[in-house]
Chains A and B, each alone.
Chain A
């Protein structure tokens, strides 16, 4: 009996040792290049003056430079505890990326999450890239990258809706949400569901500063489909002239709603995508009511070389004079498994006060057409 018990104890010890398999990974990307742009502006103000052409060393031609730490502990029974800390930085000047408050940066501005993956799906709590952005990236041939994509189109809607570009707190939808609780369901015949709720943490208000979103996705037979619903309360409380003008206090007002439907199909070397989205301020539609539409086409010539292109159209439903069309084409060549070189060109025709950018981080002059070209290199570690 005693022997049996001790052997049982030994088994339990072994079992624990097997469960404790865990890992921590340090990883990141540096992406930098040379950008030429035919117009520029200092701000996203609707009548910002054209400061002329621009030639600069630019961070993030494909996507932001970032670094991070992630880890996972297998606690057995199909359960894992995961953490992720990740933040962007600017390779041109070494600065960290934007936080939720204008003029401030955050070390881990992309992810600061702890969560669990379980047989019933994954849960993540903390600041994170939220499901709607993945849904958009997966239905855009350009992959929601920094240069001419569904990301710059969606940001164009935000700029038109009063986003100053100096914080990550957007008036229409969101790329990152702080305080977010996100659930991702397992796949069921290729279909999956993601739900987000972010408590606002505003004293005296249950609704103040809260966000909720739902994303329905399908992925099989070479086809990706996405449907997005996002609703935010008291988003983008900072006026264009902040901090000279103070932030609007949180009252629980639902002022940010975004719908998006997208599809992408991959067949042989070709990818084709299309999407439609609506973003508005449901509390006051007169201040923000926009439509966006996209189309994309890409071709993978061989495992090293591909070309992607996209067309992005924005329209202000309150002022028909405000609309914007953008075309972007990019070529990517993989020099090795971890390094790629790229060249891209883009053209945007902004009308009225629209200022859709060609690349994130380089404002264009509103109401005129702009051309941009960039060559660069992206290295993963």
Chain B
């Protein structure tokens, strides 16, 4: 019985592991249609005005901050009528694209201009 318990645990672990992988795949796959849907809604009527720009900027920062390995304190986000411009630095070249993808995924963002550069952390790689 004890062995069966172990077996169930192992199967359970595998299912969890698989489901996690499947989940991340879904997210990546979903980003493409998501982006096109965004473009559609954007072309219809992007939110305008200073208040809307500020709100969108905040939403983009909140989305970036969910990725704890990225320091949103080194990134400038400027939003204007759905068009987002990214400036500042990230610590790894892979994060340049990641941050742009995160910004694109925020509802209300119609376009992203990416001017991020790579700045390695002090004394590190």
- Name the contact of B78 in the complex, choosing from A187, A220, A267, A302 (C-beta under 8 A): A267
- Decide if B122 touches A137 in the complex (CB within 8 Å): yes
- Name the contact of A144 in the complex, choosing from B3, B118, B122 (C-beta under 8 A): B122
Q: Does A24 contact B (CB under 8 A)?
A: no
Q: Does B23 contact A (CB under 8 A)?
A: no
- Decide if B13 touches A15 in the complex (CB within 8 Å): yes
Q: Which residue of A lies closest to B71 (CB)?
A: A219
- Name the contact of B76 in the complex, choosing from A1, A12, A268, A334 (C-beta under 8 A): A268
Q: Does A96 contact B (CB under 8 A)?
A: no
Knowing A68-B125, A268-B85 are in contact, say whether A190-B73 is a contact too (CB < 8 A).
yes
Q: Which residue of A lies closest to B114 (CB)?
A: A303
B residues 1-47 in Cβ contact with A at 8 Å: 3-4, 6-7, 10-11, 13-14, 17
Cα A222 to Cα B60 in complex, Å, equals 12
- Name the contact of B6 in the complex, choosing from A8, A64, A138, A269 (C-beta under 8 A): A8
Cα A173 to Cα B27 in complex, Å, equals 46
Q: Which residue of B lies closest to A63 (CB)?
A: B123
Q: Does A79 contact B (CB under 8 A)?
A: no
Q: Chain A CB within 10 Å — which of B14, B123, B124 has the most?
A: B123
Q: Which residue of B lies closest to A269 (CB)?
A: B87
Q: Distance in Å from the Cβ of A266 to the closest Cβ of chain B?
A: 4
Residues of A within 8 A of B120 (CB): 380
- Decide if B121 touches A190 in the complex (CB within 8 Å): no
Q: Does B68 contact A (CB under 8 A)?
A: yes
Q: Which residue of B lies closest to A304 (CB)?
A: B117
Knowing A8-B6, A219-B71, A219-B73 are in contact, say whether A268-B78 is a contact too (CB < 8 A).
yes
Knowing A8-B3, A219-B73, A220-B65 are in contact, say whether A266-B121 is a contact too (CB < 8 A).
no
Q: Chain B CB within 10 Å — which of A18, A70, A267 has the most?
A: A267
Knowing A190-B65, A268-B78, A303-B117 are in contact, say whether A138-B123 is a contact too (CB < 8 A).
no
Report the interface size for chain B: residues with CB under 8 A from the other chain.
Answer: 37
A residues 56-73 in Cβ contact with B at 8 Å: 63-64, 66, 68, 70
A-B contact pairs, 17 of them (CB 8 A): A1-B4, A5-B3, A11-B13, A15-B10, A70-B125, A137-B121, A138-B74, A143-B122, A220-B61, A221-B72, A222-B77, A224-B71, A266-B73, A266-B74, A267-B76, A267-B78, A268-B85
Q: Which residue of B lies closest to A66 (CB)?
A: B123
- Name the contact of B10 in the complex, choosing from A8, A220, A267, A306 (C-beta under 8 A): A8
Cα A225 to Cα B71 in complex, Å, equals 12
Q: Does A90 contact B (CB under 8 A)?
A: no
Cα A306 to Cα B89 in complex, Å, equals 12
Q: Does B119 contact A (CB under 8 A)?
A: yes
Cα A11 to Cα B124 in complex, Å, equals 38
Residues of B within 8 A of A137 (CB): 121-122
Cα A219 to Cα B11 in complex, Å, equals 41
Cα A306 to Cα B121 in complex, Å, equals 17
Q: Does A133 contact B (CB under 8 A)?
A: yes
> Using an 8 Å CB-CB cutoff, how does the interface string of B88-118 with A read, 1 for contact, 0 for none?
1100010000000000000000000001111
Chain A contacts to B: CB under 8 angstroms: 1, 4-5, 7-8, 11-12, 14-15, 18, 25, 27, 63-64, 66, 68, 70, 86, 110, 129, 133-134, 137-138, 143-144, 186-187, 189-190, 218-225, 264, 266-269, 271, 300, 302-303, 306, 334, 337, 380
- Decide if B119 touches A143 in the complex (CB within 8 Å): yes
Other 7 A-B pairs with CB < 8 A, given A219-B74, A220-B61: A11-B10, A15-B14, A133-B122, A138-B74, A219-B73, A220-B73, A221-B72
Knowing A269-B115, A300-B117 are in contact, say whether A224-B87 is a contact too (CB < 8 A).
no
Q: Does B75 contact A (CB under 8 A)?
A: yes
Q: Which residue of B lies closest to A25 (CB)?
A: B125
Residues of B within 8 A of A186 (CB): 68
- Name the contact of B72 in the complex, choosing from A5, A18, A220 (C-beta under 8 A): A220
Q: Distance in Å from the Cβ of A64 to the closest Cβ of chain B?
A: 8
Knowing A8-B3, A221-B72 are in contact, say whether A129-B123 is a contact too (CB < 8 A).
yes
- Decide if B74 touches A224 in the complex (CB within 8 Å): yes
Residues of B within 8 A of A1 (CB): 3-4
Q: Which residue of B lies closest to A27 (CB)?
A: B125
Knowing A220-B72, A266-B74 are in contact, say whether A18-B122 is a contact too (CB < 8 A).
no
- Decide if A11 touches B11 in the complex (CB within 8 Å): yes
Q: Distance in Å from the Cβ of B43 to the closest Cβ of chain A?
A: 26
- Decide if B93 touches A337 in the complex (CB within 8 Å): yes
Cα A204 to Cα B93 in complex, Å, equals 49
